[in-house]
Structures are given as structure tokens and as C-alpha cells.
Amino acid sequence: MKLKQSKSVEWTKLDNASKYFPATANELDTKVFRLSCELYEMIDPNILQKALNKTIESFPFFKSILRRGVFWYYFESSDLIPEVSEESLSICAPIYNKNTKNLLFRVFYYHKRISLEIFHALSDGKGALLFLQTLVYHYLVYRYEEQFKNYKPALDYNASIKKKMDDSFNKHFIGDNGFTRNVIDHNKRIKAHRIRGKRTEENRMKLIEGTMSVKAVLGEAKKNNTSLTIYLAALFIYSIYKEMNAIERRRPIVLSVPINLRQFFESDTARNFFSTMNVSYQFRKEETELKDIIESITESFQKDLTVDKINYKINRLISLEKNPFMRIIPLPIKDYSIRMANKLVDRGITGAISNIGKVQMPEEFEPYIRQFTVCTSARRPQICMCSYGDRLVISFTSPFKDTEIQRRFFEHLSNKGIQIEISSNM
């Protein structure tokens, strides 16, 4: 990255969700996630750089660097120019370094793939996807300049720069005066089953991607009267269950599920605007069937995925942020407190599953785009998925060598007659 002559500097507060990531990022859990777009042809790095230069004009917030203040972290605008490179690092390698003034994202290519990796403090999955969609849009328009010289396809995201860098937490939530009453909820603290195993060499993230037909998986979900996300979450739990011994089944399996808040509240932000919910299954029978888990998970989604529940949870967190006492605590103590709280939360989570949904691009690009994929750094087995057209890509990341859970997961789908293409970095 090149450093230009410095201009006026702007500072921006971190949003509510972003504050968690700088305090908890480390070599074992980098808090970096990756979105990729695979084309049907080899990537031209010069055109990709041109497309990135164009894209960053409409996402100036992505040129921010992360700084440490006395009481809080903050974003500082920079003149750093992002440069594309050929992929050479391990998946979701560290980006944020408190001693280095660097951008919080990287763009690279490998054969037919364009990839974007982001430190989570800068953006969430939806925000990063908006950036990648814009990048791919400009790449294809430049790549096929003659074809699109008289008519440019329409990209379904034209929010203003102000809206893109909106702090939607502050816009929609005001906190809760019942701070001391609501912040601590001991009744919800449970110890979940923890997946343990031998870590990979150099702590490299193990990635296994399964690509299959959306319609085929949706068909299986409909046979069970549920949605695609719930069906796959239940199958994830079932696959973990099959690898547990009798003693381990005394504890529930708990999955953390990110929630895109843009589906509930008006927002065009490209920054973080998400929450999480936990869904769990407590084994009470000697033999549990997948349908038992589906029924339980469906009930959890119906009960917990409501605007009232989300309002309660986010206002509780905003209250903590706005508490006068919390504001004057020095940053190192805040970081320590967040790390301790994170360890407590970790005890109650077995794995995670995230679905960023259906990726839409102009139909004129269909002959050029094969698929989109998403994956993340993980301190426990985690599933991320997205779809484009009829291609659903389910990505398993794990810090452990063992892959029996992944094998059971994909084997179950294969036994249902679903054709799966498997790829891996192993």
C-alpha cells in the first residue's frame, strides 16, 4: 500500500458491535472474514486494480485505519491506497495490528477468484458483500468495456456515502434506563458442549467448501416443513451430536446465529449492523433424530427472532456503552473486561452458523459469474453460506485437524441424492 501526502483527517466512533473486535482479536482468532466471487475466466489484476480504485471512491470509509484512544478505539481517515495482490497468505490471516497504520481490508485474486478479506470492526457480512458486489460490478464493466459502452447494467445498491457510513445502532437504539437490572441475566448462562481437538500446523484455518443446488437443499428443507437455514442448522447440530459420547450429551449443543438487522430496521449502512441469537438443543433421549432437532430449532427461531427480543438485547448493550461509569474507564481495562466477558460467553457456545443469503447481481453478468462464497476465521467449527443463482456454497472453517463433523454433514446431504462439489485448502 502506498502512502500519499496527508490531507485533513476525520475521526469516527466505532459502532456498538465494532467495539468487541479489537479487544478480542488475536493470532488464533483474527476476527477476519472472507467473501469471494468466482468467475468463469482468469482474473486480470490490472483491471481488478482499476475496479478497486473506482469502488473505493464510493466507500471512502473503508480507507479508515483503527487507532487507540485513552477511553475508546476510533477510526481515522487515511490516504492509503488499497492495492490488489495475488493470494499468498493463509485464509483470514491477521489484518489488524495495533502497532501498524494499515487498512482494515485486503483485496486479492487467485486464478478465477476475486476475494475480499475484512477485519470485522470495519464491517459485517452484508456490508462487505455490498463492497464486493460493487467491485465485481466495476471489474466486469471495465473488462467488457465494448459490450457495456452504451448501456451499463444497474447495480441494486446506490446508497449515498453518508448512508453507507451510517452508525445504525445509534440511529435505531437509545439504550435502556434499567441498565443495572437488565445487563446481567444469570438465568441464560449455560455451559454448552465444547468441541475440542488438535489444532492445525501454524494455526492455519481449515476450510472445506461444499457447492450444491439451492433447489435441491430447499426441497429437503420443505420436506421437513422448515427453512433452508433452520434445516442446515439442525443438520449441523445432528452432525456434532453423532460425534459426541454419552457423557458429552449431558450438555446442550448451542449454535450462535448472526442476525442481519437491516431486515428489521431501515438501514443502507456498509458498517456493522448485526446482532446474534443462540439456538440450542438439549438431548433427552437415547437416540435423537434430525426431525427432533428441526422441531426444536424451529421453535427457537420463532420465539427469539422477533423485533421485541432484538430491541431488548441491543438496547441493553447500548446502555452499557452509554453508562457514564463505563465511559471513563481507560481502554486497557475495557479491553481486559471484554476479553473476560468473551471467555464467559464462549463457554455457552458450541459452534456458529451464518447465512448471508442470496447474492444478487445484474442479470447481464450471469455468463461471467460462477458463484459467491463466504468464510470466516473461527475458534470453533463454523458454517458460513451464501447462494448465487442455483449454486449454494456451504463453507466449513475450523481450527482443528479432525473433519468428522464436516464429513457427516455433507454425507447426510449426499445420501439424500444431492450432488456436492467438495473443495478444501487441506
The tens digit of pLDDT for each residue in 291-327 reads 999 999 999 999 888 888 888 888 888 887 778 787 7
Residue 23 scores a pLDDT above 90: yes
Looking at the domain covering 201-360+378-424, what would its CATH class be? alpha beta
Average pLDDT value for residue range 351-361: 96
- Paired with 210 in beta bridges are 394, 422
CA 406 to chain centre: 19
Average pLDDT value for residue range 62-89: 94
Cβ neighbourhood burial of 196 (10 Å; 0-12, 13-18, 19+) = exposed
- Per-domain residue ranges of the chain: 11-160, 201-360+378-424
Average pLDDT value for residue range 77-98: 94
- Paired with 372 in beta bridges are 37
* Euclidean distance between CA atoms 212 and 215, whole angstroms: 9
Residue 188 scores a pLDDT above 60: no
Tell me the pairing of strands 382-388 and 421-424.
Answer: unpaired
Confidence of residue 180 (pLDDT cuts 50, 70, 90): very low
Give the max Cα distance, the chain: 68
Say if pTM beats, i.e. exceeds, 0.75: yes
The tens digit of pLDDT for each residue in 120-166 reads 999 999 999 999 999 999 999 999 999 998 888 988 877 888 898 88
Q: What per-residue confidence (pLDDT) applies to 181?
A: 47
Q: What per-residue confidence (pLDDT) applies to 381?
A: 92
Chosen CATH of 11-160 out of 3.30.559.10, 1.10.600.10, 3.40.50.360, 2.130.10.10: 3.30.559.10
Average pLDDT value for residue range 247-272: 93
- Paired with 292 in beta bridges are none
Same fold, 11-160 and 201-360+378-424: yes
CA angle 8, 11, 17 (to 5 degrees): 155
Q: Which residues fall within 8 angstroms of residue 27, CB to CB, at 6 or more apart?
A: 94, 203
Q: Which of 139-153, 155-169, 232-246, 264-278 has the lowest mean pLDDT?
A: 155-169
Residue 184 scores a pLDDT above 60: no
